[in-house]
Chain A
Amino acid sequence: MFTKGHSLGCCFWPGALVARCPRLSRQRTGTVLRIAPRSVCLDARKGGSVKAQGEAAACVLDSDDMRRAVSRIAHEVVDRNRGAEGLVLVGIHTRGVPLSARIAEEIAKIEGVRPSQGSVDTAFYRDDVGLPPRVPTGPTSVPVPLSGAHVILVDDVLFTGRSVRAALTAVWDFGRPLSVQLAVLVDRGHRELPIQADYVGRDLATERNETVKVRVTEIDGFDRVDVLSPHRGVLFE
């Protein structure tokens, strides 16, 4: 009873409730960045596009690059931990969660054992006291006790290191892991804390005022990493 979609139900993420609420289906109807060749490229960037005064978007990883990066990270994780025994992959919301699922999938292919998976949201652990409170974008759930586990934190972009710091605090509320390692798809530099990634999909030299935008099929409908620069144009469709 009362299963008709109502806006109040929309704020819940467990599958059972989301399923009742068609409005929650993850459709992004926003603008689509279209990439055209451009003259100025930073390091390995594959091309960009320009429109009037605005931002420039340069695609730095396409879906094949992302697939290869995820696969390489999975191999490195297994190599360094000598198998998948005792591994728990913990994704940081939002896009770290689907990435951690992909790495788990790859590890399952390599080792035949799928490591446990969890997720953390850093909303309650942030250090920016005084800013408006943020509502978590997804649940913090760790299915197994972390005491004695090797935790692999997974995030899309490593930037200042602050969300990793917050995620570490969150992880500690679930037990005392044997070790915590960090896997990121993109390391864009500009660290403000002594935090380093153990597994990096791609190192990117970026300007501080640029934005690195990771899109994943599970959330955005396609796989791509773009660098958006404020001083170049961007073509919206």
Chain B
Amino acid sequence: MSDYSASSDHVPAGAMQEISNHPRSLLAMGDLDVHRLGEILTLTQEFRSVLRRPIPKVPALRGKTIANCFFEDSTRTRCSFELAAKRLSADVITLTEKGSSLSKSESLRDTVRTLECMGVDGFVVRHHASGVPARIAAWVDHPVINGGDGAHEHPTQALVDLATLIEKWGSLAGARVLIVGDVAHSRVARSNVTAFTLAGASVSVCAPPTLLPPGIEGWPVTVSEDLDAEIPEADVVYLLRMQQERIVDDPVVPSLCEYARGFGFTEERARSLHSEAVVMHPGPMNRGVEIAASVADLPISLVEKQVSNGVAVRMAVLYLFFAGIP
């Protein structure tokens, strides 16, 4: 275990802005302005076409070494960061909590300093506690990309979602995005609210009051508890995962069945969407809880599109943040 064990619960969006404004690191969506965001989306488009080539690899990060520090389990984010780095010709070290000396109680600081001494040029960090990537960014001399920290932020997921929608529609200006579910525990919700707002969309949030974080009044969103009234208005229904592992000690809903009845995206609810609306989910999905098993596979679902955009978006982020390192 690490020596750093900050509580991860209930961090309002933007609360860690001061720490996270590390100039060379991507710790929160707030680190990106519209210009940077535009660069990332342009690069994403270019890398998407690189990935379709007979040889889907470019030498842009040749000679760079990236440490993928995943102190919390992950499939999509870890694999897509690893693949993205390899597609850019970087060398990758993947570190997980179980397989490293962290399980022999080496401190987090010593762990990342050790990697840096070996000549790592940058870090991608995922941790179950909010703020860890920001702490690491303060300890090391190289850029840190936040791969998801506690209930704080998951900026590359938000970039993936933006890139997916912009690929589909060309622009998000004026779009209405409805975020449904466990906003309180969700880093994805925090990053996505910032990202969608920056892209010109209006965001509303729908969840039972127990799954809303304190301080949500300060977010640039409208809040509702009536999913059925919101769905016909939405262009994007963004479903959040019910984080069962985070809510065992703190039962915020009577039961998952009860939650699914009130806030699950069923086939019947999918029918009340307008014809061009889409459904998104950051994964991993709890089929039958927040999203009905069949809905996830309908053509309106962009879930697989999100996953396939993951590699190109992370290539764009790695290129922008790591290519300039001497």
Contact = CB atoms under 8 A, between A and B. Distances in A.
A166 to B, nearest CB: 9
Interface string B277-301: 0000000000000000000000000
A1 B43 CA distance: 24
A11 B170 CA distance: 10
B46 A140 contact: yes
B172 interface: yes
B169 A2 contact: yes
A52 interface: no
B49 A7 contact: no
B58 A2 contact: no
A74 B324 CA distance: 39
Contacts of A12: 41-42, 45, 166, 170
A173 B55 contact: yes
B114 interface: no
Contacts of B324: 130-133
B172 A8 contact: yes
Contact of A9 (B54, B63, B166): B166
B171 A2 contact: yes
Interface stretch (B14-22, B32-40, B150-158): B32-40
B249 interface: no
B214 interface: no
B41 A129 contact: no
Given A2-B175, A11-B42, A132-B324, A124 B50 contact: yes
B325 A130 contact: yes
Given A2-B174, A3-B170, A135-B39, A8 B199 contact: yes
Interface string A138-172: 01110001000000000000000000000001000
Contacts of B172: 2, 6, 8
B53 to A, nearest CB: 6
Interface in B22-74: 34, 37-39, 41-43, 45-46, 49-50, 53-55, 57-60, 62-63
Contact of B320 (A125, A133, A139): A133
A1 B166 CA distance: 12
Contacts of A3: 170-171
Contacts of B175: 1-2
Contact of B54 (A5, A129, A140, A174): A174
A1 B34 contact: no
Interface string A14-35: 0011001100000000000000
Given A8-B166, A124-B60, A173-B54, A133 B319 contact: yes
A133 to B, nearest CB: 4
A8 B326 contact: no
A197 interface: no
A129 B171 contact: no
A173 B42 contact: no
Given A9-B166, A11-B38, A4 B174 contact: yes
B217 interface: no
Contacts of B260: none
Interface residues of A, number: 36
A145 B37 CA distance: 33
A1 B276 contact: yes
A13 B54 CA distance: 22
A114 B166 CA distance: 34
Contacts of B46: 121, 123-124, 136, 139-140
A8 B39 contact: no
A121 B319 CA distance: 15
B173 A2 contact: yes
Contacts of A125: 58-60
A175 interface: yes
Contact of B38 (A8, A131, A169, A175): A8
A195 B278 CA distance: 52
Given A4-B171, A16-B170, A175 B200 contact: no
B42 A136 contact: yes
A132 to B, nearest CB: 4
A10 interface: yes
Contacts of B39: 11, 135
Contacts of A169: 59
A7 B38 contact: yes
Given A173-B53, A173-B57, A9 B320 contact: no
B182 interface: no
A135 B43 contact: yes
Nearest to A170: B58
A8 B42 contact: no
Contacts of A16: 170
Contacts of B326: 129-130
6 contacts: A8-B38, A8-B162, A123-B46, A125-B58, A130-B324, A136-B43
Q: Can you list the 6 inter-chain pairs with the closest CB atoms, starting with the nearest?
A: A133-B323, A6-B173, A130-B326, A124-B58, A11-B38, A11-B42
